[in-house]
Each structure stands twice: as structure tokens, then as C-alpha cells.
């Protein structure tokens, strides 16, 4: 359990999907999470859900973490000793239509955060990166040593550039100790159904589209292509329960805090996945079993930009953090469905 001064952790984007679940995991591990979120992609109800789960109000600053003026005071007032940085725009399609807005926000917020951290002497940072940096991997499972492919989207490029910024800052000997977690496909919700994935508008991602179809919000879901070179023709992904992913952030933060006092510059990347691939069709069928719902779906054309298959080599995160995903995909789908039903209430 975290004790004393090493407890207050700033969670940027902490009212978002992965951020809010990580707030729960931090509190369960004895940390004191503090949220900063501009609520551009979240709602107040997330804070209500966190209060229901934790039994207290998590301190929350409704601010833009690009705002250089407010961060130093916040770090001081809240005695921040580490940061988990989720705040970013993440819609792949939208990033292609508004590249400058994505570069400004995703790169600018990290640069601002790094400057303030170096200024205030806070050196521990967990960064939210993505498996999209691998593009279509040549070998599977994909390891961290796999080549980073030219980004297929502006969103993916912002993640690649952010990783380079972090790597170069640590390589310059600046007092930054950072682990970048490359997420695979986060799915599911907290088992209490008090928090979950709040897609505002039409969901881009698979599981919220499935649960909204099953709930009757969408008339039908489309499987984007069944002519891929995979066993059942549909794409393969590494779907990781969002609570497993949240706990990976805590394990990574602890690893930074356990680095010796002389390790004042550190940068590493770790795959945050299950190490298992499931096809879209497998997930659709598993959802039917997990929810007892008959899903109305059709097979449609491929979606531009989709890769055939990607799933993680998790040997590095297992050996470095002693962490492994421990929840099943079925459990994630049960939790996702429970959350969708809770949303209707």
C-alpha cells in the first residue's frame, strides 16, 4: 500500500473511460488520486460513479491540462508526487479531419505537463500510449522491439511523437522517470456498473457498438469485413478488461517509485494487453453467451485503416512489473453489458 508523501497522483483525463477506472485502482492500492479533466469527452456522472465506488469525492479540477498557468499551483496544493497522463483526443477518424487540433492538443498537453513536472521536481510519469504504433505487425504476438511503423492516422502519429518526446527528455538526462504503456483494446466496465465506457455520440469502437445494438439504441451492428486472412475471416484484436489495464498503471507507477534514488532519468515502453487474440466474430458470439442477448448484426465491407491482426507479447510487462491480465474476455463482456443496462436506468 502506498504510504505518506508518495500518494497523491495527478490523473489527467481522469474522468474518461480508462482514467476513471485507473482512479479506482489507484485508490484501492492506497494512493490518493487527483483528477484534472476538461470534460470535453466525459460527464459529471463519472464523478458520481466514482463517489459511489470509493465512498468519497475524488478531488477534481475541471480544467484544460494545456493551461500552463494552473498546473504549478495544483501540483503544490495537492502535493503531487506522480502523474498518469490520459488526457488526449483519441478518435482515429476525427484525427484525419482535424489534424492540427489533434497535434495541438495531444502534443501540447504533454509538453506543458513535462515542463511543469521538470519545474516542480515531480519526475514519475505513466503515459497512455497505443498499440497503433505497431501498425500491421510483421510477427505476432507483437513485442516492444517490433519496428514502429509509419502511423496510419494522425491520432497514431501523435502517440508516436509523444513517445519520442518522452524518450528524448529522459535521454537528455532530465529528471523524468517514465513508462509508456501501449494499450491494446480496452473493453468492459467496473463490475459495480457505476462507471464504464461513455461514448458520447456514435461509438467508434466495437464493444460499445455491440452493447448499444443489444440495448436497442442501434438497430444493427456491422462486422467490418469477413474476408481477412484469419481463421474466420474477421479481424483479430487483443481485448483487455479495462480494470486489468487500470491495475497495470498502478503496477507501473509502483515500479517507478521503487527505482533507486540515483535513477533520475528513465524511459521504457511496455505492452498492456492480455497476450491473447480474439476475432471480431468470436467476440460477437461470446457477447451473446455472456449477455443472453441475440445480437442483430450483418457482415459489411472492410473499414478503411483497419489492420488484420494484432495482439501483445506480454513477456516484458510480466517480467518487469510482475503484472498479467487476469480477467477473461467473457467477464469484460458481462461487465460491459451490465453497464449498458445501468445506463438505461
- Tell me the angle at which helices 280-291 and 206-214 cross, rounded to the nearest 10 degrees: 40
Q: Please provide residue 338's backbone torsions phi and psi, each rounded to the nearest 5 degrees.
A: -60, -40
- Quick one: which of 26, 92, 113, 286 contacts ligand WQD (CB under 6 A)? 92
For residue 205, state whether it binds ligand WQD (rule: CB under 6 A): yes
Contact of 287 with 337, CB cutoff 8 Å: yes
Burial of residue 183, with CB atoms counted within 10 A of its CB: 0-12 exposed, 13-18 middle, 19 or more buried: buried
Report the nearest approach of ligand WQD to the CB of residue 218 (Å).
Answer: 9
Calpha distance 120→125 (Å, rounded) = 13
* C-alpha closest to that of 37 among 47, 49, 26, 52: 47
**Which helix (H) or strand (E) is 83 found in, with range?**
strand 82-85
Burial of residue 32, with CB atoms counted within 10 A of its CB: 0-12 exposed, 13-18 middle, 19 or more buried: middle
- Quick one: which of 75, 89, 209, 287 contacts ligand WQD (CB under 6 A)? 209
Calpha distance 153→301 (Å, rounded) = 20
| Site track for ligand WQD across 34-73, x = CB under 6 A | ----------------------------------------
Calpha distance 254→39 (Å, rounded) = 28
Report the nearest approach of ligand WQD to the CB of residue 96 (Å).
Answer: 12
Stretch near ligand WQD under the rule CB under 6 A, chosen from 60-68, 114-122, 218-226, 327-335: 218-226
Peptide bond into 141 cis (omega under 30): yes
For residue 221, state whether it binds ligand WQD (rule: CB under 6 A): yes
- Pick out residues in 124-153 that bind ligand WQD (CB under 6 A): 130, 132
Contact of 237 with 185, CB cutoff 8 Å: yes
Among this protein's residues, is 297 annotated catalytic? no
C-alpha 310, offset from chain centre: 16
| Site track for ligand WQD across 150-189, x = CB under 6 A | ---------------------------------x-x----
Report the nearest approach of ligand WQD to the CB of residue 121 (Å).
Answer: 30
Please identify, using beta-carbon distances, which residue of 54 and 161 lies nearer to ligand WQD: 161
| Choice among 61, 102, 134, 155 that is catalytic | 155
Q: Which residues contact 207 (CB under 8 A, 6 or more apart)?
A: 187, 188, 197, 239, 283, 287, 332, 333, 336
For residue 272, state whether it binds ligand WQD (rule: CB under 6 A): no
Stretch near ligand WQD under the rule CB under 6 A, chosen from 3-11, 102-110, 199-207, 257-265: 199-207
Report the nearest approach of ligand WQD to the CB of residue 318 (Å).
Answer: 21
For residue 237, state whether it binds ligand WQD (rule: CB under 6 A): yes
Report the nearest approach of ligand WQD to the CB of residue 138 (Å).
Answer: 18
Q: What is the CA radius of gyration of the chain?
A: 19
Stretch near ligand WQD under the rule CB under 6 A, chosen from 61-69, 116-124, 136-144, 205-213: 205-213
Please identify, using beta-carbon distances, which residue of 158 and 169 lies nearer to ligand WQD: 158
Calpha distance 158→164 (Å, rounded) = 10
Stretch near ligand WQD under the rule CB under 6 A, chosen from 23-31, 35-43, 204-212, 318-326: 204-212
Q: Give residues in contact with ligand WQD (CB under 6 A).
A: 90, 92, 130, 132, 183, 185, 204-206, 209, 221-224, 235, 237, 280, 303, 306
Residues labelled catalytic: 155
Amino acid at each position: 500500500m502506498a504510504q505518506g508523501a508518495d500518494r497523491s497522483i495527478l490523473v489527467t483525463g481522469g474522468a474518461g473511460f480508462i482514467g476513471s477506472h485507473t482512479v479506482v485502482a489507484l485508490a484501492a492500492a492506497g494512493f490518493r488520486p487527483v483528477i484534472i479533466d476538461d470534460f470535453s469527452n466525459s460527464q459529471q456522472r463519472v464523478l458520481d460513479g466514482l463517489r459511489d465506488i470509493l465512498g468519497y469525492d475524488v478531488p477534481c479540477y475541471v480544467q484544460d491540462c494545456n493551461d500552463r498557468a494552473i498546473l504549478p499551483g495544483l501540483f503544490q496544493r495537492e502535493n503531487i508526487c506522480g502523474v498518469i497522463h490520459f488526457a488526449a483526443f483519441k478518435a482515429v477518424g476525427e484525427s484525419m479531419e482535424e489534424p492540427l487540433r489533434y497535434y495541438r492538443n495531444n502534443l501540447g498537453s504533454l509538453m506543458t505537463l513535462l515542463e511543469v513536472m521538470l519545474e516542480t521536481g515531480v519526475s514519475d510519469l505513466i503515459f497512455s500510449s497505443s498499440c497503433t504504433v505497431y501498425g500491421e505487425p510483421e510477427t505476432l504476438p507483437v513485442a516492444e522491439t517490433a519496428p514502429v511503423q509509419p502511423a496510419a492516422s494522425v491520432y497514431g502519429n501523435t502517440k508516436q511523437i509523444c513517445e519520442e518526446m518522452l524518450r528524448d527528455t529522459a535521454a537528455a538526462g532530465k529528471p523524468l522517470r517514465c513508462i509508456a504503456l501501449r494499450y491494446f483494446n480496452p473493453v468492459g466496465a467496473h463490475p459495480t456498473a457505476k462507471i464504464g465506457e461513455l461514448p458520447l455520440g456514435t461509438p467508434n469502437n466495437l464493444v460499445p457498438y455491440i452493447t448499444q445494438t443489444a440495448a436497442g439504441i442501434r438497430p444493427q451492428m456491422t462486422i467490418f469485413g469477413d474476408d481477412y486472412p484469419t481463421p474466420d475471416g474477421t479481424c483479430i484484436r487483443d481485448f483487455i478488461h479495462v480494470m486489468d489495464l487500470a491495475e497495470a498503471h498502478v503496477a507501473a507507477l509502483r515500479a517507478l517509485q521503487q527505482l533507486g534514488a540515483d535513477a533520475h532519468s528513465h524511459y521504457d515502453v511496455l505492452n498492456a494487453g492480455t497476450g491473447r487474440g480474439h476475432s471480431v466474430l468470436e467476440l460477437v458470439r461470446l457477447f451473446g453467451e455472456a449477455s443472453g442477448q441475440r445480437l442483430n448484426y450483418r457482415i459489411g465491407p472492410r473499414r478503411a485503416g483497419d489492420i488484420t491482426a494484432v495482439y501483445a507479447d506480454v513477456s516484458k510487462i510480466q517480467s518487469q512489473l510482475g503484472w498479467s491480465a487476469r480477467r477473461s474476455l467473457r467477464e469484460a463482456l458481462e461487465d460491459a453489458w451490465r453497464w449498458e443496462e445501468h445506463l438505461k436506468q
